[in-house]
Each structure stands twice: as structure tokens, then as C-alpha cells.
Amino acid sequence: MIDSHCHSNFMPAIARTTPSSRRTMIVYAVATGAALLAFALVDPTSGGNHVVLIGLVVALLVSSGGVISMLSPYTAEVYPTHLRGTGSGFAAASSKLGGVFGPPIVASLLATTGTLTIPALVSAVPVLVAAVVLAVRGVETRGRRLEELSTGGHVEKRLPVRRSYPERP
């Protein structure tokens, strides 16, 4: 499990340098949704196949860790400069709220249904919806300056500021 956690944070860092943040987040979100759908279809808790359970847990940890590790850099890029701190804080707080409310919801669904199918589907739907929304409405940040993103693509041309410093003796 430690190995999957390291990969889930290391791989997005490498992926961040090649394709766009937006595409990388979409890929990780779809992979997370696919892992959750696999949990729903296979329901590895109903049988005795521990290899399938371990494989699905590793896939879920790597993919969801990828989404989480890409969230901060992407939100910092898409918010305008004067709102960047607030926007990044809001995104971080939202992810923490999921961590607070998600486990009790999943636990109650597990206790009520006795299977992983329903909790996995309930978790997969918002992740896959988020991937679709990001694919359709997400801002592409690759190859664009932060100033350009902040102004909606219109960068003012300004002359460089020439600073004069007192001469040293």
C-alpha cells in the first residue's frame, strides 16, 4: 500500500510536466471512476479472491491520489490572481469536506446494503460527472502564462519598469 501511495503522488508530478494539468486530472478522475465501477461490478468482498480486492484497492489509491495531488496546482492556475488564494483554499476545503462526510456515508451504505456495490456506485457517479465537466468546461492551462489566464486571455502590453538604484561608492 505504501508503494501505491508513493506512485499516486509521484506519477502526477511527472505527468504534470508533459501533458496539461486538465488532461491529467481527467485521466486520473476517469481511472478513479473506473476503479469504483470495478468495485461495484466485481464486489470483491462477496467472494474469497483477495488478489482482486488488493488490485482494486491499489488502483483506487493510485488514481484518487493522482486527482488529489493535481487539484492544488490546477486550481492555482485557473483562478484569477486576486482570487487565487481564496479559490485554492475553497478547493482544498471542498476536498477536506469530502474526507469528513464521505466515510460516514459509505459506512452507512455498507451497513445498510451489506455490499460494496451501492457505495462504489454512489462514489463513482460524482467522480465521473466531475471528469466530464472538467473535460467540457475545464480551462486549458498548458503553455499559457498566469497573467493570460487571469485576464481571460487578454494580456496588457506594458513597458518594463526601469528601476534606478543609488550608486554605491
Domains of the chain are: 2-150 (1.20.1250.20)
Rounded CA separation 54/44 (Å): 9
Given this model, what pLDDT does residue 156 score? Answer: 44
Task: Answer whether residue 95 shows pLDDT above 90.
Answer: no
Q: How far apart are the first and last CA of the chain?
A: 63
Tell me the whole-structure pTM to 2 decimals. 0.73
pLDDT at residue 122 greater than cutoff 60: yes
Place of cell 495531488: 69
Percentage above 70 pLDDT, the chain: 70
In this prediction, residues 30-47 reach a mean pLDDT of 87
